[in-house]
Structure formats: structure tokens, C-alpha cells
Chain A
Amino acid sequence: MKADPRGVLTGEHFIDGDHACCEGALAAGARFAAGYPITPSTEVVERFAARVPTVGGTFIQMEDELAASITLQGAVWGGAKAFTVTSGPGFSLMMEHIGYAAMTETPCVFVDVQRGGPSTGLPTLPAQADMMQARWGSHGDYAVIALCPNSPQECFDLTIKAFNLAEEFRVPVMFMMDEVVGHMTEKVVIPPADQIEVTPRKHTKKSVEEFEPYNTNGDMVPEIAHAGEGYKFHVTGLTHDERGYPNMTPQTQDRLVRRLQNKITSAADRIAMFEEADLNDADVVVVSYGITSRVAQRAIDTAREQGLKVGKLRLITAWPFPEKKIRELAGRVKAFVVPELNLGQMALEVERAAGGQAKTFSLTHAGGSVHHPEDILKVIVEASR
């Protein structure tokens, strides 16, 4: 369906990534956010708090991130599209409820504008060190989707995508920005509402008598009914059967947990988004995401000017990891170079997917700034040998 025009600020704007993310959420139909302010993410909800009353919605500043991350799920079960916004320390506090969203199949979006960590770390400076946390941060087996924008325009476009994926798969989607992308200002084009595709809630068409909250009817994703609509309603973090009742048998656990994982992994190819260039003749492929992809671009350009056969693979979807693409490339390139603002997180995934067919060079950076393009160039040169 098309976006509700009330939430769409059609036009050309010169705004930062945080503000663009907020506009994306509004365009996607988000009418509820709960948050607790934290640099460098606060501008997202600051704008949302100012904008949402004009389109008919609510922002609540909660007492902390634990509260924010569960309140938004209450809003979802009440029928709203909802999200929260945070950065590292707050993201850590939200982990319990990210698991809850995965277990209860609550469609929602968690925005993490990454800053240097661990702990309080570097409040105002960039990092990309929450990438593994986004995938594995809550306990137990589950799967999520994580997207990595690299510009304010993508903060807009991909926030809409994040909400759409959340609805399609009934899963929490991690929106993994970084401080540079969040605070960088560029032109953002917001199209008219009738050009924005929005995925509606997978609401049941069944009668009240027929409906079972977690019966997938042979599909991977169950239909939903909201609280107060007259349907059977039971939402629990306990292992539950198709009726939503707690059921502690290994059989129910196996069926539920495998489905929670498989509904994402089986659709990985369809979810995977990446930007590629010059891969056909490449000896070396630079795999990067977020702000680092733009730093790497300068190194790639210089390397190609020097005659090196370097290709680019920019991850837009980090999770599910596009391992098929990496495996396919690994069979025909010498090496992958993976610069990232952490001590080597997604590089491990690249190495795993490459399966020993091509070498992986992890180019680490503890955060606080971005790589020097020259440092990336040096590793490209080394990897090309």
C-alpha cells in the first residue's frame, strides 16, 4: 500500500542522517516512538517528538532504555507502527526486549546510532562496533534483520525499508547507523507519498473463532490480531504453541525456535541488499558498510587509478549476512579487504563465508574517527600481491 501523505514531507531537504531517519519512520507510518535520549541518536526522536503531533501520534520519553524498548512493543500490539532510537549503552540495555520482540514476533524497529564503546566510551564519536551485538545480543537462538545506511538519503529510504521488513517478517529490525552518518548533512529527496511503498501489518482475515495467534497456516510468518479487537490475545516470552499458550515441551521449543530463525535465513537472498561495482575483473574486493564504505571508496578509486583490479561490495543488509554472494566471489578473487570501525566483526563473517577460498584482510579501527583512506589503500595493495 502507499504511504499516508500526512507523514510524508515531500521535497528536497538539506538535513542530517538522524533527521532523515525520523522522516523515514514517519513516511513508513510510524506513529509511536518511545525513547531515552542518548548522543548521537537524540536528534531522531527530538524531531519525531516535534513532528508526530502534527500527523497524529505519540512520543514518550521513558525513564530508561529498558522501558523504551518494551513500551514500543505495547504500542505495536495496540496496532501502531513503532520504534525506538538509541546508541551503544542504551542498545545494551535493550537486548532483553529485542529477544522478547523476536520471541513474540513483534514487528518493530530499533535504531542504533553507533558510537565508540564499550560502556560509555566515546559519546560523540563514531564506531561500528555493535554489529555482532545487533545479531547476537539477546540470549537464545533467534534471527533479526539489520540494515546499514551510508548517507542521510539512505537513512530516509532504508528506515522505510526497515519498517517494511519488520512487518513482512514480524521481526525486530536493527537500523545500524553510525555517528558520522547520523550527524552528516546532505540533500535528502523525499518523494510524494504515492511513490512510497509501505508494507501493512499482516493482520488476520480470519474470524474470531478460527484465529490462533501463532498458527502460521503452513507459512513461515503468522498473522496478527491486536489487543482489544476481540480475538484471542496472548503475548508471552515463554515458549508457546500455535494458540499462544506456554508449552514447555522440547517439540514445541524446537518447532518455534527453528521457525523464528528459518523465517529469516530462508529468505536471506530476498532480503539481501548490497551495492557492487567492478566485481567482474576484480582480484581484490573491498567489503564495507556504513560510513566506512565512503572512506573505502576513496581508497578504491585511487587503487584503480594505479591499475589495481579492485572491486566494491557494500553491505546494505548486514544481517542476514549475504554469505551466498561472498561465497560466490571467494571462488574467483584473491582476497577480501574488510575495513570497519571495530576490531574485526563483519570480517569474521566474510572469512567464514569465503570458506578458505580467498584470503580475508581485516582492517580494524577502534573508533573515534574514520580510517585514513591511505591505510585502506595500503592493505588493498598488499592484498593484490
Chain B
Amino acid sequence: MQLTEIRIAGFGGQGVILSAMVLGKAASIFEKGYATVTQNFGPEARGGACSAQLIISDTPVAYPYVTQPDIMVVMSQEAYNRFAPELKDGGTLIVEQDLVRVTGLDKKKEIKVYGIPATRIAESLGKKMVLNSVMVGFFTALTGLLDPDAVRKAVADSVPSNFRELNLQAFDKGFECGSTASPNTVETELEAESVTEAG
């Protein structure tokens, strides 16, 4: 668990902050690492753009902010446009593929892009609200950064008890998608879909 900088961004209501809290809790409480979460505070957090910064490390975290994220999770186009240029060379970009069109990424940076229709999956499970747990599951499988059991425990520990089962199902579904996902297939899928919709 070497020092890893992660940014999670989207709009208010998608569970952006909770996703960061779950991953941070998994790293620092259910595994023996360190994690620091900071979040943007301000009027923009209400219904608009929302972003959390998470640093995970096997040694104590001093500087609490992300400077060049190794991993970025974006769940809105606005968040993508604003934050994607920050990504480190060779970094990992995870997008809500129905909500984010990945454009203008610098090929030379060799960024690995993964997409998942997290909102649609959450809706198929019965509640759109659990899209963040889908994302967290997807993240966990793709990055291999954290022990899946630790993250699962953190999910269970962080959500209201009456939604625990549903969130765990969402986590498992996301994890399953992440286990079989291959990078850099998003753009093509997006384009194909928009053509179908237009037709």
C-alpha cells in the first residue's frame, strides 16, 4: 500500500464523499494502513460539483491533499472536465460511463481508462442511491489497492443498517464487473451507444 493519491468527483447526491470515506476506512481501520480524506466545502457542494480527496499509504500521511492523482473516479462530465487533466502519467481513470464522455485525454500520458454504468446497475438492483457502492466495488477489483474483504466490511460499517444488504450486493456487482474489465474500451462503447440512441 504505497502512497496513492485518489480523487473521487461527481455531483452532490452520488455518494462521492461516502465512497472516499468507505475506502479510507477500509485502508486505515480494516487494514493496517493510513488514510486521509479531505473534501471540498462550500456552496458548490450543494447539488453541484462535489469532490473528495483520499490519500492511502502504509506510512502516516503528512500533506493531506492530492497533488497528482494516481487514480481518479469521475461520475459527472463537469468533474471529468475539471479534474481529468490532473491525472498522473500512467494513472487510472474510472468513469461512470453513461454520464462521462472521455475526450481529449493526452495519449502520451498512457492513462488506463475504465468505465462502468454504475447508475444503471444500481437502478437494476432497486435503488439508484447505491451507485457509489457499485463504484467502490469496481474500484476495489480494478486497482487491487485494498483487500476486498476490508472494503466490504467498510461498506457494511458505513451505510444505514436497513440498506446494508443492498449496498453489499451493489459492491459485489461492481467488484464482479471490475474483475473482468479491460482498459480503454469506454470511448468506443460510448460512441456506439450514442449512435444507437440517435437511430
Q: Point out residues on A near B: beta carbons under 8 Å.
A: 12-14, 39-40, 124-125, 179-180, 183-187, 291, 294-295, 297-298, 301, 370, 373
Q: Is the CB of B36 within 8 A of A124?
A: no
- The answer to whether B64 and A184 have CB atoms under 8 Å apart is yes
Q: Which of B69-128 contact A (CB under 8 A)?
A: none
A345 CB, min distance to chain B CBs, angstroms: 22
Closest residue to A13 on the B side, CB-wise? Answer: B29
Bound Cα distance A13, B39 (Å): 18
Query: Inside 8 A of A298's CB, which chain B residues have their CB?
Result: 62-63
Bound complex: CA of A295 vs CA of B42, how far in Å?
A: 22
B175 sits at the interface (CB 8 A): no
CB distance from B22 to the nearest CB of A (A): 9
Q: How far is the CA of A33 from the CA of B25 in the complex (A)?
A: 29
**Main secondary structure on A side of the interface with B:** mixed
Write the residues of chain B forming the contact surface with A, with a CB cutoff of 8 angstroms: 21, 24-25, 28-29, 34-39, 41-43, 61-65
- Other than the given A185-B21, A298-B63, 17 more pairs (CB < 8 A) read A12-B29, A13-B29, A14-B21, A14-B24, A14-B25, A14-B28, A40-B41, A124-B42, A125-B42, A183-B39, A184-B64, A185-B36, A186-B61, A187-B35, A291-B64, A297-B62, A373-B63
Min CB gap A265→B, angstroms: 33
Query: Contact at A186–B36, with CB atoms within 8 Å?
Result: yes
A-B contact pairs, 15 of them (CB 8 A): A14-B21, A14-B24, A14-B29, A124-B41, A124-B42, A124-B43, A125-B42, A179-B41, A184-B64, A186-B35, A187-B29, A295-B63, A298-B63, A301-B62, A373-B63
Taking CB atoms, residues of chain A closer than 8 Å to B63 are 294-295, 297-298, 373
Closest B residue, CB atoms, query A293? B62
> Which of A13, A124, A301 has its CB near the most chain B CB atoms (within 10 A)?
A124
Contacts of A124 in B (CB 8 A): 41-43
